[in-house]
Structure 1
Amino acid sequence: MPVLHGVQEALGHVPQQAVAQIAQALNLSRAEVHGVLTYYHHFRSEPPKGPVLQVCRAEACRSVGGEQLLSHAQHCGAHCEVEPVYCLGLCAMAPAVMLEGQPYGRMSSAKLDELLDDVGGAR
């Protein structure tokens, strides 16, 4: 998994043509590498279509409006790739999002709108 994370961090995704090389380097089958890539939500096989917004769906965030925030993000983030995730580690600042690797806590729909406007009118 660290190799896959490294490739995705460098390229923004794990290209299909890299799977065979990764499998060979790790002495795994292509099916095993592909299985990991498709099982974990974090990995992408295509580059993102814009800024990546991750919205936490863990219990702490859900208890203070995280599901409504996710719904709002999915409706207003037309030029943003919205990814539900299961814990950003910001439970004390719930609900939380991460935009392009930068965490934001105590998020509301209005704050999210402002945040998306700040990244170039992603709404």
Structure 2
Amino acid sequence: MNVHVASGGYAERSRSIIREMKHLEGPMLPILHALQSEFGFIPEEVKPVIADELNLSRAEVHGVVSFYHDFRNAPAGRHVLKLCRAEACQAMGGDDLALAARQLLGIDFHQTTLDGAITLEPVYCLGLCACAPAAMLDGEVHGRVDVRCLGELVTEARG
């Protein structure tokens, strides 16, 4: 995440990123990923900039941002813990694991702990169906996650 825009002023940097990428076929998703990589989330003030640069309505841009679970509307914590919510993981105890995670962290999905350490997000398949339930901490996948393993992941993230 680029710290120089942490206090706001996203429009100018956003316009530069968009102009670098708008020549791509179907540029919106690559642009959104680049913006989230740059800022850590999709600031509300960049949606009209995207719409303007891509000749789309703000509603179209908002629809794409809100449809995809990977895009955030606020900065994430220092660590992101994703729990698989797909059917295979649910069948193998994913619902209980999700409940344990929410209780352990004191937050719900799409929220960040008060200390800013961990953001909890649902994800709909990590591709580890044979090793369900699955989780991902900062891009590293973990299979056969139980409450003990979940506690270790949280301890590692807070450590």
TM-score, with structure 1 as normaliser: 0.88
Residue 6 of structure 1: aligned partner: 34
Residue 130 of structure 2: aligned partner: 92
Deviations 1:39-90 (A, max 9, x none): 2222111112442211101111111111111111111124322112211122
Pick from 131, 136, 145 the counterpart of residue 107 of structure 1: 145
Aligned: 1:19 with 2:36: no
Pick from 17, 24, 32 the counterpart of residue 60 of structure 2: 32
Partners in 2 of 1:6 and 1:93 — Cα distance?
31
Partners in 2 of 1:5 and 1:73 — Cα distance?
27
Aligned: 1:72 with 2:110: no
Deviations 1:24-43 (A, max 9, x none): 22221111101111222221
- What is the SS of the residue equivalent to 1:52? strand
Amino acid at match of 1:47: P
Count of residue pairs the alignment pairs up: 121
TM-score, with structure 2 as normaliser: 0.70
Partners in 2 of 1:25 and 1:93 — Cα distance?
43
| Identical columns (%) | 48
- What is the SS of the residue equivalent to 1:54? strand
Could you say which structure has the greater relative contact order, defined with CA pairs below 8 angstroms and 6 or more residues apart? 1
- What is the SS of the residue equivalent to 1:75? helix
1:118 Cα deviation after fit: 1.0
Amino acid at match of 2:130: A
- What is the SS of the residue equivalent to 1:112? helix
Q: How well do the aligned residues superpose, as a CA RMSD in angstroms? A: 1.5
Range that drifts further, 54-63 or 79-88: 79-88
